């Protein structure tokens, strides 16, 4: 079996347009949902990028729930809820799965990571024969590590390969150097038959070569090369000629 076939746990996501209850309310009113056709995922890495508020997290969450994750995030086994605020998009999304099932998985949501950390502590406070869950995360309570450290230790220790990893802005906690380390770890995990779907604003993180980048905008979802993306060209402009950009920004004479 080709590596690509082995790792395509999720192949496509398609909106069941004729079944949606209303086009005028969240999440169906969002242009990216409204104009959603069939989205094909790369067997290795797929990026969802675009401006704030375009609907990346909304779509990512619906994909993750359809893939069997808890809306709050965590592994496939995590089954807890602190509040139930997810959109109903997943009911109207048909997600086509591949031949093989992932052996590992994680849905990382930036805003609920704290809840996952708390849940691990609660699990470890209960008697168990299986060893402590926290040992899978590097052994130190995720609450006692910095945001970046705890995320990175989860990424290094908890992600074991042959996995489906869905992540929402994982760069939020990471320094540029750690973002590069993350790319290196993604590369290792890809070679251990893993598939990633990542929403990100980071031009560093979106640079994995074997990937598809989908840019979300008011005009729907479009496939882009890294150099064609708004994020990349803005960053490039900034670093190439910061003075000029700042000049325009501050309306200086």
Ligand X SMILES: Nc1ncnc2c1ncn2[C@@H]1O[C@H](COP(=O)(O)OP(=O)(O)OP(=O)(O)O)[C@@H](O)[C@H]1O
Interaction site with Mg ion (CB under 5 A):
56-57
Instruction: Report the C-alpha gap between 198 and 217 in whole angstroms.
Output: 17
Tokens matching residue 145: 């590590």
Instruction: Report the C-alpha gap between 177 and 146 in whole angstroms.
Output: 16
State the DSSP code for 74.
B
Instruction: Report the C-alpha gap between 134 and 119 in whole angstroms.
Output: 10
Report the relative pairing of strands 39-40 and 10-15 from DSSP bridges: antiparallel
- Judge contact between 122 and 128, C-beta under 8 A: no
At residue 63, the 3 state secondary structure works out as helix
Q: How many residues bind ligand X (CB under 6 A)?
A: 11
Q: Can you tell me which of 7, 8, 44, 58 binds ligand X, judged by CB under 6 A? A: 58
- Judge contact between 43 and 3, C-beta under 8 A: yes
Q: Can you tell me which of 55, 102, 138, 203 binds ligand X, judged by CB under 6 A? A: 55
Look at residue 85 and give the partner it binds from ligand X, Mg ion, none, a contact being a CB closer than 5 to 8 Å depending on partner kind: ligand X
Question: How many residues make up the chain in this entry?
Answer: 253
Q: Which is nearer to ligand X, 49 or 142 (CB)?
A: 49
Q: Which is nearer to ligand X, 54 or 120 (CB)?
A: 54
At residue 112, the 3 state secondary structure works out as helix
Q: Can you tell me which of 56, 162, 224, 231 binds ligand X, judged by CB under 6 A? A: 56
The interface region with ligand X, picked from 10-18, 56-64, 75-83, 93-101 by CB under 6 A, is 56-64
Q: Indicate whether 52 belongs to the interface with ligand X (CB under 6 A).
A: yes
Q: Can you tell me which of 77, 81, 82, 85 binds ligand X, judged by CB under 6 A? A: 85
Q: Indicate whether 30 belongs to the interface with ligand X (CB under 6 A).
A: yes
Q: Which is nearer to ligand X, 21 or 53 (CB)?
A: 53
The interface region with ligand X, picked from 48-56, 119-127, 170-178, 244-252 by CB under 6 A, is 48-56
Instruction: Report the C-alpha gap between 15 and 11 in whole angstroms.
Output: 14
Q: Indicate whether 54 belongs to the interface with ligand X (CB under 6 A).
A: yes
User: What residue ranges bind ligand X (CB under 6 A)?
Assistant: 26, 30, 52-58, 85, 87
């Amino acid at each position: 079996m080709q590596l690509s076939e082995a790792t395509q746990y999720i192949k496509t996501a398609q909106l069941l347009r004729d079944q949606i209850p209303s086009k005028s309310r969240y999440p169906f009113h969002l242009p990216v949902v409204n104009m959603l056709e069939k989205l094909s995922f790369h067997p290795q890495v797929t990026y969802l990028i675009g401006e704030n508020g375009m609907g990346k997290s909304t779509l990512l969450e619906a994909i993750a729930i359809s893939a069997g994750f808890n809306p709050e995030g965590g592994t496939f086994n995590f089954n807890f809820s602190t509040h139930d605020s997810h959109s109903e998009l997943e009911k109207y999304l048909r997600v086509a799965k591949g031949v093989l099932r992932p052996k590992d998985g994680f849905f990382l949501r930036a805003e609920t990571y704290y809840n996952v950390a708390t849940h691990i502590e609660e699990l470890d406070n209960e008697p168990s024969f299986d060893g402590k869950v926290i040992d899978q995360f590097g052994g130190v309570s995720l609450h006692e590590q910095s945001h970046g450290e705890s995320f990175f230790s989860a990424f290094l220790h908890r992600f074991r390969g042959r996995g489906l990893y869905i992540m929402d802005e994982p760069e939020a906690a990471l320094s540029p150097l750690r973002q590069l380390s993350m790319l290196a770890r993604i590369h290792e995990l890809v070679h251990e038959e893993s598939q990633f779907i990542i929403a990100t604003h980071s031009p560093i993180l979106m640079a994995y070569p074997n990937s598809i980048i989908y840019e979300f905008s008011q005009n729907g979802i479009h496939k882009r090369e890294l150099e064609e993306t708004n994020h990349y060209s803005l960053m490039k402009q900034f670093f190439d000629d910061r003075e000029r950009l700042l000049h325009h920004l501050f309306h200086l004479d």
